[in-house]
Structure 1
């Protein structure tokens, strides 16, 4: 393993038991997160992004889910072997998660102040007076006015953007080394999205926290990420520094995602390209490449054997049979400039 990585996930497999059978939601995911880095995980809904995040936090439902294989290490400590009591000491203190929907993640019956203070009292052993002072500071930091008044209010008294700011304040109040943001801008308009992304940048500059940004919005990826992992059908199919991925995508699925977003250099009225077909059934994953049935460049071997991950230049890796020396090459593609994707946010 890479000793300078803060968080390491190796060959993670996660499955869910259902009435219809076993769903293999995550199939061999590996990732590295370094100190102060922002890693984006992108892909269609259902590709395993959120399950990977919840696995890191050990927040999967206990009655029907299990990590069947793999390792999750934080600062060299194996998280999969910790008891629930030990994990409660890790959550919030070392690793914190920001959920997509604050209305379901926060408690509507408790005041915002009670929820902010709860974690810092538990993990940092502060008195209620000290915890309250810290909560006020965090609300000010995330840009909420009149923090003393706001501490006494409940969730329904805040707008969507302010709820997301409260979620960020709650996650950051104990100064964790790793923040996991699970689609934190999905339900927000583009103006509030930009403000939330600026808040993440400021938080990283101030605390040097590492960030995992889970999203399907490539505009968000272009504007905040250092590296990108592209997931499909529970697997990482391509990983690269953000500029390299936008300029030189090598997996047909990554190209399909980039072709499906609005571009300022497209002719007016031009239709967006959609990826044909649907993702595979993870009750019975395909034995070959999971993207083969939707891929315009699929070969016979793609349906028979899973491709190995191949390292290209630098940190760029891709799992695709097209990287084999015997395969035909994809037609050249003009660079998908990062600035274009950033501008697509509005």
Structure 2
């Protein structure tokens, strides 16, 4: 499988009155054609900043791409001009934003908003664009698409707004779809429908998906591979099967232990991760998880471990995998 996206050593900072916030610090990952890769981690770990960096949607200033590359189909998007990015956004790379109500224009009809992307990137008539927009609404399962085409966002339910966002994102058949918390504001029934819809569309269109979420249930349902982020860094990555069965970083273990499972005893308490993430204005010199880690060693405080291969399809940034470590991560 060839890679459609390659993010290498990405560093992104925000310059504020309080100081430089190092939001993303040396992120590496790849996404293959037709593959779903989930980026997971708690709030503030850099997931959405990474996603918006791929689309070059961060305002500069205050954002600054310090170093690294974001290669889409072999071309570094960080070197692309704004004119080049306007040709790519919504056409070759599309994004489903976290809150469809704030992402959709409340003063514009749904059909017109879907037509905008089609007319922007394709040399077709307004009539043909309108027919394509109705077709996309039908594709995402919106009933009475001919009628809904003329309605405003406030006339749609939350689930239908999210479907309309997906229709808009897929209108130009993108090679890569970035989904930033696509089911956060939805109830579990609608969430399941949206995830099933995304899988069906991916199967039909062969679109690669970059899924940004903190919901490990969604990851288990959707993803082929997982990238776990903490304090702006990748601390573990691997296939869904291996990462869920044999987590290799204490942070990943903590995430998995903090969610309920069907095989748990009803009286068994959940195990939250104690403490808070570090301040990224002044990040620690060693492992960023040091202060919250039950396995922490002296070296962890002063030296940040590299992301290294620990299993066939699994990488982790943890000193516990060093041969001289006094306690190894259980596998």
Name the TM-score, length of structure 2 as normaliser.
0.98
Over residues 229-274 of structure 1, what are the superposed CA-to-partner deviations in whole Å (9 max), with x where a residue is unaligned? Answer: 0000000000000000001101000000000011111111321110
What is the Cα deviation at residue 121 of structure 1?
A: 0.6
What is the Cα deviation at residue 4 of structure 1?
A: 2.3
Aligned mates of 2:264, 2:328 — CA distance in 1? 21
- 5 Å matches for 1:82-231? 82-231=80-229
What is the Cα deviation at residue 62 of structure 1?
A: 2.1
What is the Cα deviation at residue 192 of structure 1?
A: 0.6
Q: In the alignment, what sits opposite 1:40? A: 38
Name the TM-score, length of structure 1 as normaliser.
0.94
Q: In the alignment, what sits opposite 2:70? A: 72
SS of structure 2 residue aligned to 1:311: strand
Aligned mates of 1:309, 1:74 — CA distance in 2? 23
Q: In the alignment, what sits opposite 1:281? A: 279
What is the Cα deviation at residue 331 of structure 1?
A: 6.3
Over residues 63-122 of structure 1, what are the superposed CA-to-partner deviations in whole Å (9 max), with x where a residue is unaligned? Answer: 210100000111111111111111000001110000010111111111001100000011
Aligned mates of 2:16, 2:166 — CA distance in 1? 33
Partners of 2:248 and 2:330 within 8 A in 1: no
Aligned mates of 1:203, 1:19 — CA distance in 2? 44
Aligned mates of 2:315, 2:202 — CA distance in 1? 26
SS of structure 2 residue aligned to 1:125: coil
Q: In the alignment, what sits opposite 2:233? A: 235
Over residues 144-174 of structure 1, what are the superposed CA-to-partner deviations in whole Å (9 max), with x where a residue is unaligned? Answer: 0111111111110011000000010000000
Partners of 2:110 and 2:153 within 8 A in 1: yes
Choose which of 256, 263, 266 in structure 2 pairs with 1:265. Answer: 263
RMSD: 1.0
Aligned mates of 1:113, 1:142 — CA distance in 2? 13
Could you list the runs of 4 or more consecutive aligned residues of structure 1 that deviate by over 4 angstroms after TM superposition? none
Choose which of 56, 59, 62 in structure 1 pairs with 2:57. Answer: 59
Q: 5+ unaligned residues in a row in structure 2: which ranges?
A: none
SS of structure 2 residue aligned to 1:53: helix
Aligned mates of 2:76, 2:113 — CA distance in 1? 29
Q: In the alignment, what sits opposite 1:250? A: 248
Q: In the alignment, what sits opposite 1:30? A: 28
Partners of 2:24 and 2:233 within 8 A in 1: yes
Partners of 2:90 and 2:174 within 8 A in 1: yes
SS of structure 1 residue aligned to 2:311: coil
What is the Cα deviation at residue 44 of structure 1?
A: 0.2
Aligned mates of 2:119, 2:267 — CA distance in 1? 56
What is the Cα deviation at residue 330 of structure 1?
A: 4.1
Aligned length: 331
Aligned mates of 1:131, 1:294 — CA distance in 2? 53
Aligned mates of 1:97, 1:66 — CA distance in 2? 21
SS of structure 2 residue aligned to 1:137: helix
Q: In the alignment, what sits opposite 2:307? A: 309
SS of structure 1 residue aligned to 2:264: coil
Choose which of 292, 295, 310 in structure 1 pairs with 2:293. Answer: 295
Aligned mates of 2:35, 2:225 — CA distance in 1? 8
